[in-house]
Amino acid sequence: MEHAQPLQLASRTARLKSSLVRDILAAAARPGMISFAGGLPAADLMPALPVAATAKPELYQYGTSEGEPAYRTAVAAWVGETGLKVSPDQVLALAGSQQGLDFAAKLLIDEGTPLLCEGPTYVAALQVFQLFGADVACVPLGAEGPDLVAFEHLLETKRPRAAYLIPCFQNPGGACYSPEARVAVAALLDRYNVLLIEDEPYRSVALDVAHPMTPICALLQRAPWIYLGSFSKILWPGWRLGFLAAHPALMQHLVRLKQAADLHTQRPGQAAVAHWLGSDARTADLERLLQGYRLRRDAMQLALQRHFGDIADWTMPCGGLFFWLRLRDGLEATRATLDRAIARGVAFMPGEAFFVDPAEGRQYLRLNYSRATPEEMMRGLELLADCIHARETA
């Protein structure tokens, strides 16, 4: 007979850290808070759900792990419009693109596997990669792509098994890779034969597109790839619909991982998205949504110029849901700043949440523009600027 033992869990659970982002979002949900912290899309501007398509009794029964044929076909065509040509057989329906990160981690990451990410990068990707034990190295990111010298140096020295990139309207930094950066990155990945995980949740939130945004996956000659897409910024995120497309050599593994994870993605949501993708209203729906996003983005730009013009630098985002600010003159926006801001009724996301080494993020903050009203933006950013200044005089 055994004596009482402490709870034994898998070693990876030591890396299942409390998420700063989750903590902040919980605090930001308090009534009356002006929150620039989250990344909620504009659900009020989204097209109406095609209810009849979701309610069919023939969707009650279990479906296939790969996804509904109509969904896979419609998504393959939708992805094809980006310049990445895939067959429906290369598409896997997902419960949001976050699920694709879980599968990529399972497929690729052993304890200690080197992985290349952007710095800063998407927090929940970092979390799942680190949960599986990845040794993450980050390449510095500019407004038009990564530092290519640093990128090649990391490929050469770290020998990463995969690179995780968000080339369109990156979260949090807002970078949009130039056509030249896309070609150069693809060539480097091919040369070192490094698998690309290309994550594009914000591609459709393209407010002002200055240049073509061909997916890097479409430019690869040799390296294998996984392309992740989401409908959550344009269609009913609460329904959780995303997809991956992948190099044919990876599909069998990915379908088995899907089966082990949740058997298949709920069918009515797939039916709704397939219906919308095939509808005549699509272009007008999307333009109306983007027009709404543009108005909010522009209101935020105006409020920022008023209250942050003398203390921060930023590039107005041409897509995605965020402004990424770098404070001047040694000013910082840390967790302590956030605590003061929340006490005064305004929330933001400190830059430290987005770096493997939080110290790299102390000068940065991420501000979501899609939720607050113009009046809230003016009032909230004035308050926030005060809080950041107070940091210096504290």
Site residues for its own copies, 215-274, by CB under 8 A, read: 222, 224, 232, 236-240, 249, 253, 256-257, 259-269
Q: Decide if residue 14 touches its own copies (CB under 8 A).
A: no
Partnered with residue 347 across adjacent β-strands are 35
The binder of its own copies chosen from 35, 54, 90, 334 (CB under 8 A): 54
Burial class (CB in 10 A: 0-12, 13-18, 19+), 292: middle
Non-local (6+) Cβ contacts of 132 within 8 A are 12, 105, 106, 109, 110, 111, 113
* Least Å from the CB of residue 11 to its own copies: 5
* Least Å from the CB of residue 172 to its own copies: 17
The binder of its own copies chosen from 9, 343, 359, 394 (CB under 8 A): 9
* Least Å from the CB of residue 30 to its own copies: 15
Give residues 76-105 in contact with its own copies (rule: CB under 8 A). Answer: 94-96, 98-99, 101-102
Q: Which region among 126-134, 169-177, 279-287, 376-384 touches its own copies (by CB under 8 A)? A: 126-134
Non-local (6+) Cβ contacts of 266 within 8 A are 95, 239, 240
Of 249 and 394, which has the nearer Cβ to its own copies?
Answer: 249
Cα-trace Rg, the chain: 21
Place of tokens 């792509």: 145
DSSP state of 359: G
Of 265 and 334, which has the nearer Cβ to its own copies?
Answer: 265
Give residues 322-351 in contact with its own copies (rule: CB under 8 A). Answer: none
Cα 251 from Cα 215, distance rounded (Å): 19
Give residues 135-154 in contact with its own copies (rule: CB under 8 A). Answer: none
Place of tokens 């949009």: 176
* Least Å from the CB of residue 373 to its own copies: 16
Nearest alpha carbon to residue 367 among 342, 346, 391:
346
Q: Are strands 114-119 and 312-313 parallel, antiparallel or unpaired?
A: unpaired
CA dihedral sign, ordered 168, 170, 176, 179: negative
- Binding characters for its own copies, 174-213, by CB under 8 A (x = yes): -----------------xxx-x------------------
Q: Are 109 and 117 in contact (CB under 8 A)?
A: no
Count of residues engaged in binding its own copies, rule: CB under 8 A: 79
Give residues 104-123 in contact with its own copies (rule: CB under 8 A). Answer: 106-110, 113
Residue-wise burial string across 118-139, b where 16 or more C-beta atoms lie within 10 A, e elsewhere: bbbbbbebbbbbbbbbbbbbbb
- Binding characters for its own copies, 151-170, by CB under 8 A (x = yes): --------x-x---------
The binder of its own copies chosen from 40, 143, 311, 356 (CB under 8 A): 40
- Residues counted in the chain: 394
Of 11 and 393, which has the nearer Cβ to its own copies?
Answer: 11
